Chain A
Amino acid sequence: MTLLDNDRIAAGRLAHLDALESHAMFVMREVAAERERPVILFSGGKDSVVLLHLAAKAFAPGRVPFTVMHVDTGHNFDEVIEFRDRRVAELGVDLVVASVQDSIDQGRVADPGPGGSRNRLQSVTLLDAIAEHRFDACFGGARRDEDKARAKERIYSVRDEFGQWEPRNQRPELWQLYNGRVRPGEHLRVFPISDWTELDVWEYIAREQLELPSIYFAHEREVVERDGMLLAVNQWVVPGPGETPLVEKVRYRTVGDASCTGAVRSHSTSVPEVIDEICASVLTERGATRADDKFSEAAMEDRKREGYF
């Protein structure tokens, strides 16, 4: 929803949220036109909430022509699963849940055990689900501002049958002429909101009045401080020796695996307050909240080579 003043019309230039929205809609429409079986990856997190909303807009007044898939690590925040199911029902789209626990039970991957992160295991579950459902294009809500490796990835990322990203050999991607062709066994990962920043996402959420899982807003939670991050105490995160659980007022900047996603101390209970908070923050979204990206300088690149988003 945008006011356009005469100056902007005279200048012939869109305001930046309109430009970002329009580009994302364009990308989703191209994929819908050129691929047989696209799927939207939906975790219930803010980026995928935006992605689903953009899909609804891109195909309105028709229905979203894609299946929605959640790659479920089994380590979930209850609030997020409740939200996921409600949102999918509102849009009337089909939901596929690809379960990491199933992959573990079938012996496809090894359970890292209590306290271990299942984040890396998602790649196998995702690739199995892509093969099973014959998806040929997967939309992800990844943004280039999240990580240095992500900053290098094209809007259309061609993946081989092992889901691997080959960063040294990406297709040229000129103008908005996206080459959506893939060979048998390959598929596309498509990132319509590549060029959005965390702040853009929140400003868009404000503008479009999008609902989010409640854990994005400040609430009291029992947490433990580990490796400089606040992890929620739950069945996967048990305080160890020397760790004292505290009840803190926190919120989440990103929604992921509950075993490794950190909360931040916050008093922001509304979208405008969150926007103020982000503007003032001295940490990036990932720096503040993701344990698994701290393994090495190339943690994300290495995981993407394995088939991760």
Chain B
Amino acid sequence: MASESVPDHQDHSPGTDHALALADTDLLRFATIGSVDDGKSTLIGRLLHDAKTLLQDQIEAVATTSARRGHEGLDLSLVTDGLRAEREQGITIDVAYRYFATPTRTFIVGDNPGHAQYTRNMATGASTAEVAVVLVDARHGLTTQTRRHVTVAALLGIRQFALCVNKMDLVDWSEERFDSVVADFLAVTDRLGVEAVIPIPMSALHGDNVVDRSTRTPWFSGPALLEYLETVSPAPVGDATGARIPVQLVLREPGDGRPTRLYAGMVHGGPLCPGDPVVVLPSGQTSTVERIVVGDDELVVALPGRSVAITLADDIDVARGDVVANSASAPAVAREIEATVCWFNEDPLGAGARLVVKQGTRVERTVVREVVSHLDIERLDHSEDLDELAFNDIGIVRFATAGPLVVDRYDDDRTLGAFVIIDEKSDRTIGAGMIRAWS
């Protein structure tokens, strides 16, 4: 038994097995994606309802509204559509986050909008997800919007997909129809390099194969969605590169004499331990991790995702924006980067555009050197015949930055491989980038 720190608070710990179990369960973040009206909100509502996570007052509120609108029974999409405009129009505009737990896992669900104009919100919901739950209407099959969402989710690094072929009740539970949708979907995911796809025939409206396996799909031997979510192993996070901490702040330990400097930030890329040799980038100075602290606790190992403060054995200059990285596998320093960009701005992006990027904990001015290529969502081909990215386009872009960035390839490390693009005139976030190469 290795311990992160010494426990001394037993008296205060929760009193039941249930509560204790929950405190130590895994957290899984998943996102629902797909076209508008394919049933995403209804699915989340059904999942929460059948997993017995909705409470009495929430069910009563949904029942009241459903009755007022003349629906029979519960309109479960009302569980997540939380904005006035969403309920009025019956569509989802922005991500809603929902929370539920089973004895084995706690879940954070991002219920994403399906409309093309809200792709930026879908990317928001998918960027922190480990698993994508894709809904496809069995009658209509894959739409352009489904392809767009799956493409964005795959680019964002999601490798685990549950394909929910929904509204199977409206195609008489046809196994042929199911197989045909699955084949179309696999053709897309194969092109995107996604291997882990679990197809599930479903009726979110009636609850078939959502929490419990349905008797109406005797030909299907796979799991219900909740079984899948409880057992899926997300791709291991953080062992691709080795430990890095983008420094957020320098903290000073008060006291007599010379104050100790601590560098605060979140560990990612791999576990970090006291004694690990590190390099500080972009300066390139080297040292050794001395202590890793969280509040009053000293850690013997900090796992990826842990917010810590560290001290170094040597007195070197470290500031916000620097990266402390395990010297054995350090990231690169670059001023020219090539990235896959999702563009969310109404004005197109072209060569010469002057913008700001936030990457890690560093903010730098940037200029667009070239829009290299542009992704055709229907054909999933890169074409080089356009030199601009329009609203919601995805393409490969080369940037030069005013100061050096400390970078990883996005495929190796989501943190130092990602950046957002900010418009200095409006301060709005107008794009997202995933680094492919640099020089």
Residues in A lying within 8 Å of B, measured CB to CB: 1-6, 8-9, 11-23, 25-26, 29-30, 32-33, 56-63, 144-145, 147-152, 154, 167-168, 170-177, 179, 181-183, 194-195, 197, 199, 203, 206-209, 270-273, 275-276, 279, 281-284, 286-288, 297-298, 301-302
CA distance A15 to B5 in the complex (A): 14
**A20 to B97 alpha-carbon distance, docked (Å):** 14
Q: Is there contact, CB below 8 Å, between B307 and A58?
A: yes
Of B124, B295, B306, which is within 8 A of A173 by CB?
A: B124
When distances are taken between beta carbons in the complex, the residues of chain A under 8 Å from B71 are none
Known: A15-B23, A194-B97. A5 touches B1 (CB 8 A): yes
Known contacts A16-B27, A275-B14, A301-B82; is-contact A2 B55 (Cβ 8 Å): no
Query: 1/0 per position for B298-334, CB-CB distance to A under 8 A?
Result: 0001011111010000000000100000000000000
CB under 8 Å from chain A, chain B span 1-21: 1-5, 7-9, 12-16, 18-19
Could you pull out 8 A-B pairs where Cβ atoms are within 8 angstroms?
A: A12-B237, A14-B27, A60-B309, A148-B96, A179-B429, A203-B23, A283-B57, A287-B56
Sample of 9 more A-B contacts, CB < 8 Å, known A29-B248, A272-B14, A297-B65: A8-B303, A61-B260, A145-B99, A175-B415, A179-B358, A182-B427, A203-B22, A208-B9, A283-B57
Least Cβ distance of B109 to chain A in Å? 10
Question: Please, which residues of chain B bring their CB within 8 A of the CB of A152?
Answer: 82-83, 94-96
Contact indicator B236/A11 (Cβ below 8 Å): yes
Min Cβ gap A193→B in Å is: 12
B259-306 residues at the A interface, CB under 8 angstroms = 260, 262, 264-266, 270-271, 293-297, 301, 303-306
Q: Chain B residues near A61 (CB, 8 Å)?
A: 251, 253-254, 260, 262, 293, 309
By beta carbon, the residue of chain A nearest B234 is A13
Rounded to whole Å, the gap between the CB of A168 and the closest CB of chain B is 6
Q: Which 6 A-B pairs have the closest CB atoms?
A: A287-B57, A148-B82, A272-B15, A16-B27, A25-B307, A57-B295
From A8, A207, A302, give the contact of B23 (CB < 8 A). Answer: A207
- Cβ–Cβ < 8 Å partners of B7 in chain A: 1-3
Give CA–CA (A270, B13) in the complex, Å.
10
* Interface-located stretch among B182-190, B205-213, B374-382, B418-426: B418-426
A172/B84 in contact, CB under 8 A: no
Evaluate contact between A209 and B9: CB separation under 8 angstroms: yes
Partner of B307, one of A4, A22, A275, A302: A22
Residue B366, interface by CB 8 Å: no
Asked if B383 is at the interface (CB within 8 A of a chain A CB), the reply is no
Do residues B124 and A13 form an inter-chain contact, with CB atoms below 8 A? no
Chain B nearest CB: distance from A238 CB in Å? 27
> Residue of A at shortest CB range from B5?
A1
**Are A276 and B429 CB-contacts (below 8 A) given A19-B305, A58-B264?**
no
**Which residue of A8, A30, A175, A297 has the most chain B CB atoms within 10 A of its CB atom?**
A175
Closest approach, in angstroms, between the C-beta of B101 and any C-beta of chain A?
Answer: 8
The residue from B1, B14, B432 contacting A203, defined by CB atoms under 8 A apart: B14
Contacts known (A3-B3, A22-B305, A172-B123); A167 close to B19, Cβ less than 8 A: no
Give the chain A neighbours of B23 by CB distance below 8 A: 15-17, 203, 206-207
What's the nearest-Cβ distance from chain A to residue B36, in Å?
16
Q: Does B361 have its Cβ within 8 Å of any Cβ on chain A?
A: yes
Q: Does B93 contact A (CB under 8 A)?
A: yes
Contacts of B306 in A (CB 8 A): 14, 18, 22
CB distance from A17 to the nearest CB of B (A): 6
Inter-chain contact A279/B84, CB cutoff 8 Å: no
Residues of B with C-beta under 8 A to A171? 428-429
- What does the 1/0 interface line of B80-97 toward A look like (CB < 8 Å)? 111111010000011111
Q: Kindly state whether residue B58 has any CB partner on chain A within 8 Å.
A: yes
Q: Are A284 and B57 in contact (CB under 8 A)?
A: yes
CB-contact partner of B252 in A17, A30, A62, A197, under 8 A: A62
* Also in contact, A9 and B420, with CB within 8 A (given A17-B23, A63-B254, A279-B18): no
Q: Which residues of A contact B305 (CB under 8 A)?
A: 13-14, 18-19, 22
List residues of B (238-259) whose CB comes within 8 Å of A's CBs: 238-239, 248-249, 251-254
CB < 8 Å neighbour of B3 from A4, A182, A270, A284 = A4
Contact pick for B303, options A14, A154, A173, CB 8 Å: A14
Q: Which of B16, B236, B238, B262 contacts A275 (CB 8 A)?
A: B16
A1 touches B83 (CB 8 A): no
In-complex Cβ contact of B128 among A11, A16, A175, A279 (8 A): A175
**Chain B nearest CB, measured from A172 CB (Å):** 4
A12-B271, A61-B253, A195-B97 known; A272-B16 Cβ under 8 A: yes
Bound-state Cα–Cα, A40 to B64, Å:
37
Q: How far is the CB of A103 from chain B (nearest CB, A)?
A: 27
Q: Which listed residue (A8, A177, A206, A287) contacts B419, Cβ 8 A? A: A177
Cα–Cα, bound, A179→B421 (Å): 9
Evaluate whether A60 and B94 lie within 8 angstroms (CB atoms) in the complex, with A6-B2, A12-B239, A207-B13 already known.
no
In the complex formed, the residue of A with least CB distance to B363 is A34
- Collect the chain A residues with CB atoms within 8 Å of residue B361's CB: 30, 33
The yes or no answer to B25 lying at the interface (CB within 8 A) is yes
User: Contact between A172 and B415 (Cβ–Cβ < 8 Å)?
Assistant: no
Most chain A CB atoms below 10 A, which of B5, B14, B18, B294? B14
Q: Is B436 an interface residue (CB 8 A)?
A: no
List chain B residues, Cβ under 8 A from A167. Answer: 83, 85, 93-94
Contacts of B84 in A (CB 8 A): 297-298, 301-302
Q: Is the CB of B55 within 8 A of A283?
A: yes
B60, closest chain A residue (CB): A287
Q: How far is the CA of A32 from the CA of B250 in the complex (A)?
A: 11
B226 part of interface (Cβ distance < 8 Å): no
Which residues of B in the span 75-118 have a Cβ within 8 Å of any Cβ on A? Answer: 80-85, 87, 93-99, 101, 106, 108
Docked Cα-Cα span, A302 to B83, in Å, equals 10
Q: Which residue of A lies closest to B239 (CB)?
A: A12
Tell me if B30 is interfacial: C-beta within 8 Å of chain A: no
